[in-house]
A and B are shown apart, each in its own frame.
Chain A
Amino acid sequence: MSSMALADSRWIARGEERVSLPRFLAWLAPWIVLLAIGVYAAGLCLFYGLNQTNMDNRFAFGLWIFLDLGIIALGAGAFFTGFLVYILKRAELRPILNTAVVVGFICYSGAVAILMIDVGQPLRAWFTFWHPNTHSMLTEVTFCISCYLTVLGLEYVPILLRNRQLRKLPSFLVFERQLHKLVPVLAAVGTLLSFFHQGSLGGLYGVLRGRPFAFREGIFIWPSTFFLFILSAIATGPSFLMLVVAIVERVTGRNLVAQDVFRRLGRISGVLLGVYVAAKSIDTLIWLNFTSPSEGFAPWQYYIYKPFGTPVLFTEIVLFGLVPAFLLTFPRTAEHRGWRLSAAALACCGVLMNRFVMTVQTLALPTLSFDEFLSYTPSWQELASFGAVIAYGVIVYSLSYRYLPLFSRSGGEDSHVPGH
């Protein structure tokens, strides 16, 4: 074994088998290239300005905002799994906890990175903390996501410190142990923060009086989209986790998590998805028949523009909502791995479609009577930055899988046996 491979093997947990270093680097190479292209594209946007994108005064939000909302919704599995394990004491989900934290960290850090490029003056990001507008949903989102990213980082630290070499440092070992004892507190804080920011991301659009396609009535200061976004996030977070683990199992060629964990995640996702579909359907009916007409917008005028016709509504609620909810709860299909994963993929598509409809379709539709239906196509810089976030996620997860005990039998609990 070469000295480099030998050094690398010392970082891999004892008893765990991983592919050779050259093969691992070959796996990482295309993702690193994708990341590099995306970083270059982001650099262009930061240096030359947002004219590098195809966003304009009518499409002020574009691909990046859709990406942000989408990956934050999918990353909800992190807080929700933590809530289930530490608060509701669902210990059977513990094997997937580390992955949930890593996936959550990737999703939120990626979203924040994209936001820093998306705003016109990133260096002024601290202004929101210094001059907060307590009436704005975006202020609430900023505060909560900043705090939650900190919490996720803190939850990631104990996993990092369980690396074979890092554990040898006494201070790291003891600190990791101490922090791990307090993770339930962080999980509770994370649940509170996530509840609010997932909701406020929905509230961003629900409060827009000037966009009747998105505007909703609600409870007190919170439009119905506040609650719908929370529901859809906690419904699809577990599905996304299932998909991630299934992909990792396929790529690594090993069974990492017991099928029972998948079944439980699927059941939780299916039930919540069913609740979400019911709530969304009721909300849509209220919006179509009361809210929108009261603002002077007839119910079906939104759907006369191709390609955003009523099939979009049907696809979002039925194909990507009701169908996966059924597949994940009906015993015959819920017990079958293939159906379960297909349903999980449909559910994830559903939440992405919902976020797309609320961002892009909202802006495409005319409001003034002499407006036109608008279209927008992202520039290569926007697509490359999008690709960079995905590449970043794959790289971070790959490194975490290789060097950290993400799937140790007891989730890392027994990593302190003397002599190891």
Chain B
Amino acid sequence: MVKKRLIPCLDVTGGRVVKGVNFVNLRDIGDPVELATRYSELGADELVFLDITATVDGRDPLLRLIEHMSEELEIPFTVGGGISATEHARAILRAGADKVSVNRAALDVPGLLEELEYEFGAQAVVCAIDAKRRDDGSFEVVTHGGRTPRGIDAVEWAQEAVRRGAGEILLTSIDADGTRAGYNLELTGRVCAAVTVPVIASGGAGTAGHLADAFAVGAEAALVASIVHEAPERITVLKRELKEAGWPMRI
């Protein structure tokens, strides 16, 4: 039986890991390879790197970082942030990333998901979806950190992304993001029920119970950020607690 996954997410820019709020007051919290190796040793099942300024400052530092990461890391990693063309994705995968994550470009570039799937296989293509709750209880796709509503239903877009070629959905609730009050289970459950690819729940992780709740509504994996960045040993603790609660975890 395939194990549930705990996936720390690291924001990188210019080859360093940073932490900040809404892209301001970015603080350097370390060398990505050192942090990644530590997270791996503590039991992280996979890692996601988001290049938060990829569209601004060019890609060479990112590619060098991926090459170095690939040589040192013994667990899989996904790279996302500003990928808008197959050639970007190819460079990132050839540098050693296991998967690419596309968000806005999946919406804006016709044929991108299809082409990525054709070139690299669905298992290397993650579609990241940011969603926000509407007043009527449905969820709308948003971009630009939640500032731009796209007028598209998140559940329908997830289904369409899978039809086009995505092999995994990274689903972030913008409402829950940063709250540590738990994942949005309504959103997560609806998307998990609507697609047949693995879904990674994201936004709102605070406790092991929150991760268990996401698994219970169908998520295959849970993304964590601030709770493990401030105390990396929590990776080990969270996984042990989930295992004790009966979830299949790699210990």
A binds B: no
